[in-house]
A and B are shown apart, each in its own frame.
Chain A
Amino acid sequence: MEALGLLLHGFAVLLTWKTLLLMMVGLVLGIFVGVLPGLGGPNGVAILLPLTFTMDPTSAIVMLSCIYWGALFGGAITSILFNIPGEAWSVATTFDGYPMAQQGRAAEALTAAFTSSFVGSLVAVLLITFLAPMISSFALKFGPPEFFAVYLLTFCSFVGLGREAKHKTVISMSLGLLLAGIGMDTVSGNLRMTFGSPELLRGINFLVAVIGLFGISEILLTMEERLALRGHAAGISLRVVLGVWKDLPKYWVTLLRSSFIGCWLGITPGGAIAASFMGYNLAKRFAKEPDSFGKGRIEGVFAPETAAHASGTSALLPMLALGIPGSGTAAILLGGLMVWGLNPGPLLFVEHKDFVWGLIASMYLGNVVGLVLVLTTVPIFASILRVPFAAVAPMIVVSCAIGAYAIQNAMFDVWLMLGFGVVGYVFKKIGIPLAPFTLALVLGNRAEDAFRLSMIGSGGTLKVFWSNGLVGSITTLAILLLFWPVIDGLLGGIGRKAAGQNGDATKG
């Protein structure tokens, strides 16, 4: 087992006081971010990214990924105690978690949530450990046409499999790809879409856009709601923890099923939100008495939390192996890799062994440390919610501005961030999804380069995308996925009324 040896080496890289300290700091910041309203995993990572600019890449990614784990853990706290999902993927946790808290079983629900999060992540990390090196060594044989086909597959699956209106996904994605193209064209050196502005020459920085889209817009959205809240406080005693853990083997089917759902949806762009709902619904469907769900059943906490964490973690697999992020947060981590001067993609496993295996080892260690940390500190984090939002909101704004400015030391970027904040707010309210935009913005240039390099290689014929079995199947699969709703409708026959809604998928 080569992977095992490398993993042990990764642990060796990790086990220094400095890294362990950064890990703790990251986890605490992450739980903080997950608990606070108006902030979440992607925002937290985006805002705190500038802190890592002066670190070496391994320390930086360890800290950032720990912020991410922390945010995943933190989302469950508010769902259970306050019936407020801190994150969209915690919505399903409130269904049974909050009733449990009302019945005075908050500690039990929290333990269940944290434990299942841990199990979900662990399954996903195991998958990454053994699958990622295989995929990346396979992907080393890829040339530009294969890479373009994979990018195409990613984009098409977003359009074909997303649940939003198709034209809105298309708008979001094409806008992201267009904005990615602003500035210097990397193949020919020409300037594009700069309109003579020296500020636009640098292009639109991905991270600046993300900080605006997720950070600023989220504050605007949060302010719209009534922010008064009342909830249960909870301390977790060792007795409760052991009690829940003792019963754990009884729920192995639920845990395993949710882990698989999560891993699958995390690698494909289904995401943690879909995974948590699917995990919950399947647990309910297979239960002996489905009616007891929603009234405080512990399985109703296990199922969505395991799936959400498995999905959130496995979203890093395509990012590490292929350089294609499986989620918004993974896209931001990918942006971070580029800032630290690493080139995401299969070569990462060859050229930066320390980095990759340090990161994978930190996933194991971060989840163990995180589990202990949340179990012991829940009361402290729950009381963060006592801090009025009027104090938190301006601090988030300042942090966003610092983040946006620090990336390129440009005041223009602060204004750009504000603009993206407004765009994000409006888009979210009219249902234009932001994930395709984020993905397109971070992958746009790479996709275009791959396309044009394949064209130069092939002398300008599109046949290169069907020139061998591998690239041909990926391209065909991409096109199939793009038109999946139409195909699905046709297969479903005339009897199904849904076919009528799918007509718009042919657009774009």
Chain B
Amino acid sequence: MSQTDIEIVVEDPTAPEDDSPSVVSSGTIEIVVCLLLLALAITLGYDNWRTGASWDATGPEPGYFPFYLSVILAGGSLYGLIAALLARRASSGTFVTRAQGRRVLAVFVPTLLFCLTTQFLGLYVASFLLIAGFMRLVGRIALWKSLLTAFAFTAIMFVTFDVAFDVIMPKGPLEAALGR
């Protein structure tokens, strides 16, 4: 493989190591998901049965369709549960390694915080904080670049949605102080 004409190189300073130990196997997650789906199917099935899941003179009652869907979902997840339990003997693949898990959480937690902040401070402030914080802390990008990018992106979003297209986003005290 010739390396001479390679012109675009992007590094990933916080890449997950390849030899990171497994946190949890796919089999275990499959069992958990099937159990959760089973619980959901039972909850929804019960609610639909309460609404009325029988067949009257004019055809099915409102709960009829969803009730039987819950039954199918329950059947499917029960089958998946048994299949996953049986396959457990054989070695199942890794669901996520420790290094990967750390990286996924590094996106998920900021996203969660972003949603919380949006609820209280409005979307635009939250968006500025998310982008600047994420670039600086996770991407280890220079502070001024992070702040500038975050500000520019948020400003473009504000102009596009709030000013040009009249799509109103959740706003907080800052926008109120600026009179928007």
Contact = CB atoms under 8 A, between A and B. Distances in A.
B35 interface: no
Contact of A390 (B41, B58, B59, B139): B139
B136 to A, nearest CB: 9
B162 to A, nearest CB: 10
Interface in B88-129: 95-96, 100, 103-104, 106-108, 110-112, 114-115, 118-119, 123, 127
B73 A233 contact: no
Interface string B50-63: 01000111111111
Contacts of A402: 123, 157, 161, 167, 169
Contacts, number: 228
Nearest to B100: A224
A414 B95 contact: no
A113 B141 CA distance: 35
A82 to B, nearest CB: 8
Interface in B12-43: 12, 15-16, 18, 26, 29-30, 33, 37, 40-41
Interface in A400-456: 401-402, 405-406, 409, 411, 414-415, 418, 421-422, 425-427, 429-430, 432, 448, 451-452, 455-456
B69 interface: yes
Q: For chain A, give the interface size range.
A: 35 or more
Contacts of A223: 100, 103-104, 106-107
Contacts of A504: 79, 83
B8 A232 contact: yes
A235 B52 CA distance: 65
Interface string A106-133: 0000000000000000000000000000
Interface string B145-177: 000010001100100110001111110000000
A75 B133 CA distance: 30
Contacts of A165: 83
B103 A224 contact: yes
A173 to B, nearest CB: 8
Given A391-B141, A430-B30, A178 B70 contact: yes
A175 interface: yes
Contact of B69 (A102, A177, A230): A177
Nearest to B34: A171
Chain A at the B interface: SS class: helix
B8 to A, nearest CB: 5
A53 B96 CA distance: 39
A171 B80 contact: yes
Contacts of B108: 220, 422
A382 B12 CA distance: 18
Interface stretch (A182-190, A287-295, A299-307): A182-190
A415 B112 CA distance: 9
B139 A190 contact: no
Interface in A50-105: 50-51, 53-54, 81-82, 102, 104
A174 B55 CA distance: 20
Contact of A192 (B51, B75, B154): B51
A406 B75 CA distance: 37
Given A383-B8, A391-B131, A430-B26, A460 B72 contact: no
Nearest to B103: A223
Interface centre among A385, A395, A455 (most CB of B within 10 A): A395
Given A390-B135, A391-B149, A171 B10 contact: no
A394 B62 contact: no
Contact of B131 (A54, A178, A228, A394): A394
A373 B110 CA distance: 36
Interface string A189-232: 01111010000000000000000000010011001111111111
A126 B146 CA distance: 48
7 contacts: A187-B62, A192-B62, A192-B63, A228-B15, A232-B5, A389-B12, A390-B135
